[in-house]
Structure 1
Amino acid sequence: MYWLFLILAGVFEVGGIINLKLTEGFSKLKPTIFFILFMCLSFFFLSVSLIEIPISIGYGIWTGIGASGSVLLGMFLFKEPKNAKKLVLVAGIIFCIVSLKLIT
């Protein structure tokens, strides 16, 4: 169950970061509210997951989910440049996330 909380924390982090982009410097109310909501949920689920998961593993996985999810959604939602190098590096992050999970 704690791993599910960690995954949810990562997904909410990605949602928060996407909404941070949409706030346009916190000048738009709706995405600002969603940013605050998603980040609060992300930190809540991260804190719950860290009850059982070591912080060295949990924080690394949470950060990796946020980083890789933000890069991928940035490419697809905001038409950021896509190239093979970027995709290989994101695959490396995902590999590291899976590896961290496997060693626990």
Structure 2
Amino acid sequence: MLLPASQQFSKIIPTVILLFAYILAFYFLSLSVTKLPLSIVYGSWAGLGVFSVAILSYVFYDETYSWQAIIGLFMIVIGVSLVNIYRA
């Protein structure tokens, strides 16, 4: 979400916050992998990342979505939930 605000890394403050957020996210991802299977962690990371960016883009950048896209986003959430509930 900070990538557009950094304006191709020309704005220092959003760029520094962006880099810190990426480092923090990968740190927590590496912690998660020590406790859970990689397939579960990565699937959840990817799916919920897409969902979160879509929601935040709607709120902060006024993006619009078709009803098909909205159904797809909810299917991502349902899929990630099912994988986490019924993991082996």
Q: Which has the larger radius of gyration?
A: 2
Structure 2 residue runs of 5 or longer lacking an equivalent are: none
Larger RCO (CA within 8 A; separation ≥ 6): 1
Name the residue aligned to 1:57: 40
RMSD value, Cα: 1.0
- In the superposition, the TM-score normalised over structure 2's length comes to 0.92
Q: Which stretches of structure 1, 4 residues or longer, exceed 3 Å deviation after superposition? A: none
1:88 corresponds, among 43, 50, 71, to 71
Tell me the matched-pair count.
87
Separation in structure 2 between the aligned mates of residue 46 and residue 57 of structure 1, nearest angstrom = 11
What does residue range 1-104 of structure 1 map to in structure 2 within 5 Å?
Answer: 18-104=1-87
Deviation at 1:43, TM superposition (A): 0.2
- In the superposition, the TM-score normalised over structure 1's length comes to 0.79
Separation in structure 1 between the aligned mates of residue 58 and residue 5 of structure 2, nearest angstrom = 15
Residue identity opposite 1:80 in structure 2: E
Deviation at 1:82, TM superposition (A): 2.6
Q: Identity of aligned pairs, percent?
A: 26
